Structure formats: structure tokens, C-alpha cells
Structure 1
Amino acid sequence: MQPPRSALSPFSDDAFKLSRLGIAETLVNLDAEGNPLPGLAVSWRPVGPTGWEFSLRPGVRFHDGTSLDAAVAVNALSRATRAQPKPRILDGFELAVSEAGPDRLVVRTAEPDPMLPQRLSSPQLSVLATAAYRQDGTVDPAGAGSGPFVLTELRGSEGASLDRFDEHWNGPAKAPGLDVSFVPDGSARAAALRTGTGDIVEAIPASQAALLDPGTFTEVPMPRTNTLYLNSRPGGVFGDAGLRAAVREAIDVAPIVAGPYEKRADVAQGLLGPAISWSGQRPPRTGATPPTAPHGQRITLATFSDRAELPEVAAILEQQLERAGFQVELVVREYSQIEADALEGRFDAFVLSRATVLDSGDPAAYLRSDFACDGGFNLSGLCDAAVDAALREAESEGDMRARRAKILQAEREILRTGAAIPMLHERVVQGNAPGVHGAAFDPRERLLVQRDTHKVAE
């Protein structure tokens, strides 16, 4: 869907293209419930209160012919800790990585981190061959991954070519290679499926699904929330909690679900949706701020066009907010052209489709990134002591049942501030042409093309 923004650097969101296209691999994988599974590491154990020792899989070779050992893994993780900006999965965490033997490494954190194995499953912590990491801090994954496919060419924002890696540690892939096109326009992606020019198609817009043969796509419930972020930085319009509350009162989600999403979405009850099975156990909300009348206050509302529904969502919100008394300027661009301005707080409100367990399979990482004072993706500029305290409580809890309860408590504190207004939870439509087998339908959006993915004539 979206073209690379950082030349497929694993330290950026491009990392998820590396994993979805079978280029790069991580030390740890996750099962459907978010529990850790072996990846490039076959086992791990705690070492003292702040350390974990990982034993590496034998016989792993990179696309450049070099072998995986502890020195290579230590180099990859150490480079991630020094990257600028820091990978989102490391927001608020400091890692120290060292060799414990030829095939063992130790990862230590400043504070105990019971979720470190899950954290190391993030594609942003993929392990590449040493040659991928340049002295100037950039990373070139071409010919440097360990996955079933070798990146042979990246054509800027247009596409990429990949060949099968015959020496993959788990055996060669069934497909001889991949031709990839980056197509931000949702209608064009759907057309590629209809015309047979695309075999696997990401994120088909809900409006296009009715035009497709039902046997060519699958609707996948996603842990992805469409949220309105309000810029709560002091001095801005929504530094006023009462005006944030006025936005909350003005929004009616029903026409958004029925319109742009054509009922292929669920009305949000919180930041975490029904794809996270335990999210319905959340405590009741308390302490909502009463709304303040806008009196014609001018605001900028922004979103991006890569997800076809979002401009329509923003247009509906524009109408609702103007009826409530705001004067709204709407800004829509491609994501690659708007992300930097959004992170710098140049908009009063921003509509974002956000995966809530993308990085570690654990929502605490997403909540910290988006809502902690030092969060690396804090679009709303939120800095609230109670929120930060609740996030620390959740992140330090090792018992999974208690951790989930504390995550929901942190969610309640975030929603209390009014800096984020969750609207709906998406169901993503993925297209698969007749004869395509083995493509992943991954709610975390980490996997797509796998070793078993292939096409046969039908």
C-alpha cells in the first residue's frame, strides 16, 4: 500500500515491509495470542533481574553468504539502540547487548522488562548481515537479510524485485520470486486484483470490496483503530481540555461506519478493539471534562490519502465539527508527505488508522509510543503524569492477566484526557487472486508472503 519512506531501513516503519515480504527475520516470533516463539533464536532465559540470554539457531545464513553468530546479532541490536530517531519499539527503554559465547547473547535493560522476548519480535529489531550497516548510520537490506526472499532491487517509491533464497535455514520458498508494486491509491490496488495484474493485494478499500468476486478477498478483523488525535500541547487550541471535550461530544461515528467503511468496521469502545480478546474487560471511565463552547475557534484537521477511507472520514468530521461551532481547515496528503508535520504538532487534529499491537504483540508498546510524555509517535503531544504512571505500572507487570488489567487502566487514563478519540476498529480486506496459496492473513500486519506462498494455475 505505502511506498518505502526510508529505503527499507529496519529502524523505520519500513521494517514491516522487510518482514511482510520475507526479507528479514527477528530473534523471536509471536503466536496468535502474542506469546513468544523461536525465530533466529531457539531459546531464551532470564539472567538476573534485568537480563535475558538468547541462544541462536544454528545453520542460519544471510543472503550475502555470511553466517549468523552472536557477534552479528549483537551488532544489529546495538545499531538499533543507537539509531536516530530510535525505533519506536525502544521508546523509553535502554538496551545493552553483549556476546555470551559464539552462539549466545545477553540483552540487558535499565529496568526489569518482562516482555523483552516479545519486544525482540518487532521487525524494527530485525537481524541483518553486518555489511548492511553503514558507517554513516544508514542501513541497506539488499542482499543482507536471512528470510526466504532476497531483495535484489528497490525502485524508489515504485516497486521492488525479490528472488528466492535457496539456502534459507528452513528450506527454499515455493515461489521463485516476487515482483512488488507500491500503490497508494486504493482503487488502483483493487483494479489490479480485478484485472489479474496483482496476485496479493493489501488493504482494498471497503468501497471497492463490493466490486470484487467474493472468492478473491478475505476480510480480516484487525487490532487497528481509527482514532482522532487532538494536539494537546500547551498554547494550542486543544491545550484546552474543555475544547477537547467539545470535539468528543460533537463526533457521531455511526455515519462513518455506515459510509466510508460500508459497515466493514466496529464502533470503538476504546483504543483497543474486539480483535484483542480481553479488551472488553476494561474498567468504566471516570472524570470526563465537561465541554467548552468553541465559539468559532479555527482548527486544522489533517489526514492522509493512502488509506482510501480516511479522507472521507475527515470530511464527515469536518462537517460535524463545524456544526458544533468550530471553523475547520481540512488538509489531506499522502502519508509520506504529512507524517513529519503531524509529529511536529503542525495540525490541531489528525485522523490516523493505527495498529495497536504492531510492534511487540503487546498494546503497552503502542500506548507508550503514542501517549507517554517521551513517546516517539506522540501525535497529540500528550504529557500527563497519571498516564505515564499507569503506563509504567503496565510495562513492569510480568503476570499476563495482571498486565492486561493494567493496560486497560492505562487506556482509561489516556481516554480521560480527551487527547485521543477512538472512533472505529477496522476490518482490513486483503485480496488474493485465484490460485494463490499460503499468503498470510496477519492481524498484526507483520507477515504477508511466506516460504509456502505460491501460485498455481486453476
Structure 2
Amino acid sequence: MHLRSPLPALALVVASSLVLGGCFAQDPNATAGDAGGRIKLAMLQPPRSGLSPFSDDAFKLSRWSTAETLVTLDADGNAGPGLATGWRRTSDLAWEFTVRPGVTFHDGTPLTADSAVNTLTRAVAASPKPRILDGVALTARAEGDRVVVTTGEPDPLVPQRLSSPQLAILAASAYRPDGSVDPVGTGTGPFRLVAVNGTTTATLDRHDGYWGGRARAAGIDVSFVPDGTARAAAIRSGEAHIAEAVPVSQAALLDPATITEVPMPRTNTLYLNTQAGPFRDAGLRAAAREAIDAGELVRGVYEGRADVAAGLLGPALPWAAEGRTAPTGRAAATPPRGAAITLATFSDRAELPEVASVLQQRLEDAGFAVEQVVREYAHIEEDALAGEFDAFVLSRATVLDSGDPVAYLRSDFTCDGSFNIARLCDPAVDEAVRTASLAEAGDGRRAAILAAEAAVLRTDAAIPMLHERVVQGDATSVVGSAKDPRERVLVTVDTHLR
């Protein structure tokens, strides 16, 4: 098995200090007094789309509490008020949302039903559109202080959809004639985004006019630090107050008082290209599945800080384990006989290259000839979505967008899904996902979701290996940071330094 060779302590300190000196935000105008009131945050991934809210960058805006949505989600995934104070379903296809009064955007303009409609209309027209809108025909119009949302077919999850950070409501000034979106100074949250330095740093100041009350921290100084060792070292050295996604290899080196571990709806999955290459053959996909020892990955790569996957949905959704049944009708494994495959992953999450190395060894033991490709995510996503690789190791959040797994199942595994790395197009899967999407919230919907999961697993297009945990680093001076399994919230109105 592929094992780590830790750096000697002195080498680790020297290497970390060199990395930290060059990548953490330093405000030359900060004084000793106001620096203590600002949260220094080390984040995993830099912006990939200029912080466009229609991309995954939206989750950064959400975690910084600068951009907000009409609807919020509680810990159980139930919809609650946000920039909308309430809503009601007026017909099979229509929902009515009442816009919160007295809210002002960071540019000084008021939040209105028209501004909310502007955001939703632009999101529908965006290319690519937000994942939460995959397969959804949605229109919005303003009626007084209300936003009327209409869908092409009955959709019981419209409120949950509008909680997606990719549908955050920004001021009209955010939207440019060329179709780009600039979130600087255009949100509604307790922190106002004031500057973005490319893929290096971002600066947010407290927005004293926030409708939900004055934030306790003076601001947030963000540094984008893809190197996991550097993020962990930042907590030890005091260069950061909060570090997201601490690698498991570094967690044991930190003071236990600075580490929090929470099961999360994130699955480490091997996606197999079903459209081109050797894995068009379901028998070879089955052979790949049988070659993988997920327990080996959990014990060796994740040092026990993960859970072996029984399906696509993990322990952060307890109902999934309670109602899951084994998929039937899987193809029998056929001998690989030296079939050449390209196995790819990205380096932003420190464990993934090591997972790929272990998988390469096991797949070669099973008879595949494996070439491995590892790049930063920003430089590999396009090729992965274009089907350039035979196999791709992905750490994937399964309820990130709506608190409901259907959006993930649709985007990743249906014929027209926008994130279909496996290039899967299976009528039975599409029908199962459609059935789940139309089911009302509750036990019936959960059963339909598990039936759709089983339909995907039957194809072996995706082989779930393990469920990750949030490993977050917080300096002992930090009070009230969020430990959110869905990775939507991090610094809140109540987060502050002792």
C-alpha cells in the first residue's frame, strides 16, 4: 500500500514558513488594534470563475457571508426564511415568495422583488447554468413585493432550489453587459466584499447596515492556499484563524483543541467513462469495482478520518443507510487483459493524489495498464467533463446545492446532466432520477432517491469509495465559526476573536 513519508520536523517548519510568507494576505493599513478584530481565513481553492455566483465560486461568497439567497436551509435540509420572509405554493407549477423589507445591497440600492427576479432570470440564461437548475424550466416575475416562480412541471423542491448559493441575489450593478458578474460590493450579507486579488486574496469589511444585525468581526482577510500543509501550518503559526479542509495527514500534527471533525455529505468516488475507451464495457467497469478496497483507503490514506462507502450517499444522511438496498442487475466482471486506461484526479485536495496512487496499484494488480494524471482542479475540470480520461477520482458533495441529493444525481448521472464526468446516458437512470425529482418531500421522496441511487450503482459508472469528513482548523482565539457539513457557511455574523 502507498504510505506517507513524513518530512522531518525541521524541514516541515522551514518549508511551511517559506510557503506561508508568500501566500497569506497582509493588510499594510491594519493596526494592531483592528487586526485583532479581523478573521484571517485560509481557503482551499482559489476562484475558478472570477467569483461568479453562477459557478462553484458561489460557495465562497456564501461561506464569507457576503451574498445571500431568498431561502436558507436548516441542519436537516428544511427550507427557512432568508431574503424571503415566507412563501406559498399557489398552483402545481407556481410559487410565491415575499421579499424581506428593509434590506439594502452593499452598493446602497434596495432589495426589491424586481432585483430578485433579475438575478433568477440571469441565472436561467447563464451558460453554463447553475447545477441546481439542471433539467428545470424556471421563470420568475415580480408582483409587488412578491416573486412569482413558475416551473415547467410540478416541482416540490422550489424553495430548496432557491437556497442554492448559486442563486444568491445580487444588486443590478453586479451584472455586466457582456454576461459576466462582479460580486464586489453587490451582496446583502453582514460582510461586504471590497477587493479581490485574482486567485491570491480577497478582502471583506463589516457591513454595518446589515439587516440581520451588526457582525461581531471587523472583517475577513482571505488567502487562497491550495497547499494543505501550508493551511495547517497557518493555524500553528497564527497566520490564519480558520483553515478549511485540513488534510488528514496534518490533523494529527495540530493541537486537538484546534481541530473539528464532522461527517459530511461528500463522497470520494471513482467515475468511469462509459462513452469512450475501455470502460464502455460494463464488464470492465465491474472489474474495476472489484479491484478497489475502500477500507484500505480509509485506513491508509485517510488515517481513519473517513467512512467506507456503502453507496453514493453517506452517514451525513442517516436515512440513506436505513433504506438502502443493494443494486441488482450489475454486469459480471471480465478480465482486463492489459486494457490501457488513464486515471486522473486533482491535487487541490491533498488526499486525492494518494488515493489515485493506491487505485493505480490495485487496478494494475487486477490486469489494467494505468497511466496517472494529476493537475490542479482549475486545469483539469474541463478535460474531465469533456471525457478526456477513462477514470476520474472526484471528491464530490452530494447535497451541496439544495440540501437534497436529486440535483446531484441529475447533474452527475443523467443524459443531459451538466457535471456528467462518467458520460452516462441510461434511460433507466434518467427515469429513476425523474421519478425522484417529482416526489413530494418526505419518506416517499427518500425512497425514490435511493431507487435512483441503486439505478446508478447498477451501471458501475460511479464507484463510491468513502465518505469524507470536514476537518476544519480553528485557532483557540476563534469563537463561533460554523462547522457546516454542506460547506455553505463558515464565517457568520456571530464569528469573532476572543
Band of TM-score, shorter chain: over 0.9
Structure-2 separation of matches of 1:454 and 1:94:
42
1:180 aligns with 2:228: no
Residue from 423, 427, 449 that aligns with 1:381: 423
1:244 aligns with 2:278: no
Residue from 73, 90, 93 that aligns with 1:47: 90
Matching residue's letter, 1:360 = S
Show the counterpart of 2:313: 272
Matching residue's letter, 1:4 = P
Show the counterpart of 2:104: 61
Show the counterpart of 2:20: none
Show the counterpart of 2:38: none
Structure-2 separation of matches of 1:21 and 1:450:
7
Structure-2 separation of matches of 1:282 and 1:185:
37
Show the counterpart of 1:5: 48
Show the counterpart of 1:348: 390
Structure-1 separation of matches of 2:252 and 2:238:
17
Q: How does 1:96-245 map to 2 (within 5 A)?
A: 96-101=139-144, 103-233=145-275, 235-245=276-286
Show the counterpart of 1:35: 78
Aligned-partner SS, 1:203: coil
Matching residue's letter, 1:157 = T
Matching residue's letter, 1:240 = D
Structure-2 separation of matches of 1:226 and 1:347:
17
Structure-2 separation of matches of 1:351 and 1:284:
23
Matching residue's letter, 1:289 = A
1:74 aligns with 2:117: yes
Distance apart, 1:374 and its partner CA: 0.6
Distance apart, 1:392 and its partner CA: 0.6
Structure-2 separation of matches of 1:143 and 1:386:
46
Aligned-partner SS, 1:192: helix
Show the counterpart of 2:375: 333
Matching residue's letter, 1:115 = L
Show the counterpart of 1:318: 360
1:259 aligns with 2:300: yes
Aligned-partner SS, 2:245: strand
Aligned-partner SS, 2:409: helix
Structure-2 separation of matches of 1:253 and 1:77:
41
Structure-1 separation of matches of 2:122 and 2:294:
43
Structure-2 separation of matches of 1:295 and 1:448:
48
Q: Give the count of matched residue pairs.
A: 454
Structure-1 separation of matches of 2:239 and 2:441:
48
Matching residue's letter, 1:389 = E
Structure-2 separation of matches of 1:266 and 1:117:
31
Distance apart, 1:438 and its partner CA: 1.1
Structure-2 separation of matches of 1:163 and 1:140:
17
**1:348-399 Cα shifts (integer Å, max 9, x gaps):** 0000000110000000111111001110100000000000000010000114
Structure-1 separation of matches of 2:293 and 2:492:
40
Identity of aligned pairs, percent? 66
Distance apart, 1:108 and its partner CA: 0.4
Structure-1 separation of matches of 2:187 and 2:50:
14
Matching residue's letter, 2:299 = A
Matching residue's letter, 2:318 = S
Show the counterpart of 1:22: 65
Matching residue's letter, 2:211 = W
Stretches of 4+ moved more than 6 A in 1? none
Matching residue's letter, 1:44 = W
Structure-2 separation of matches of 1:323 and 1:428:
32
Structure-1 separation of matches of 2:200 and 2:171:
25
Structure-2 separation of matches of 1:128 and 1:77:
10
Aligned-partner SS, 1:121: coil
Aligned-partner SS, 1:204: coil
Aligned-partner SS, 1:138: coil
Distance apart, 1:284 and its partner CA: 2.6
Structure-2 separation of matches of 1:382 and 1:417:
9
Matching residue's letter, 1:241 = A
Distance apart, 1:100 and its partner CA: 1.3
Distance apart, 1:316 and its partner CA: 0.1
Structure-1 separation of matches of 2:295 and 2:436:
32
Structure-2 separation of matches of 1:305 and 1:260:
14
**1:65-102 Cα shifts (integer Å, max 9, x gaps):** 0000011000010000000111111111111100111x
Aligned-partner SS, 1:12: coil
Structure-1 separation of matches of 2:68 and 2:330:
44
Instruction: Note the residue ranges of structure 2 that are not aligned, 5 or more in a row.
Output: 1-43
Show the counterpart of 2:131: 88
Residue from 452, 464, 470 that aligns with 1:428: 470
Matching residue's letter, 1:12 = S
**1:119-174 Cα shifts (integer Å, max 9, x gaps):** 00000000000000111110000000001111111011111011000000011110
Distance apart, 1:188 and its partner CA: 0.7
Structure-1 separation of matches of 2:487 and 2:469:
12
Structure-2 separation of matches of 1:43 and 1:255:
48
Structure-2 separation of matches of 1:225 and 1:348:
19
Distance apart, 1:41 and its partner CA: 0.2
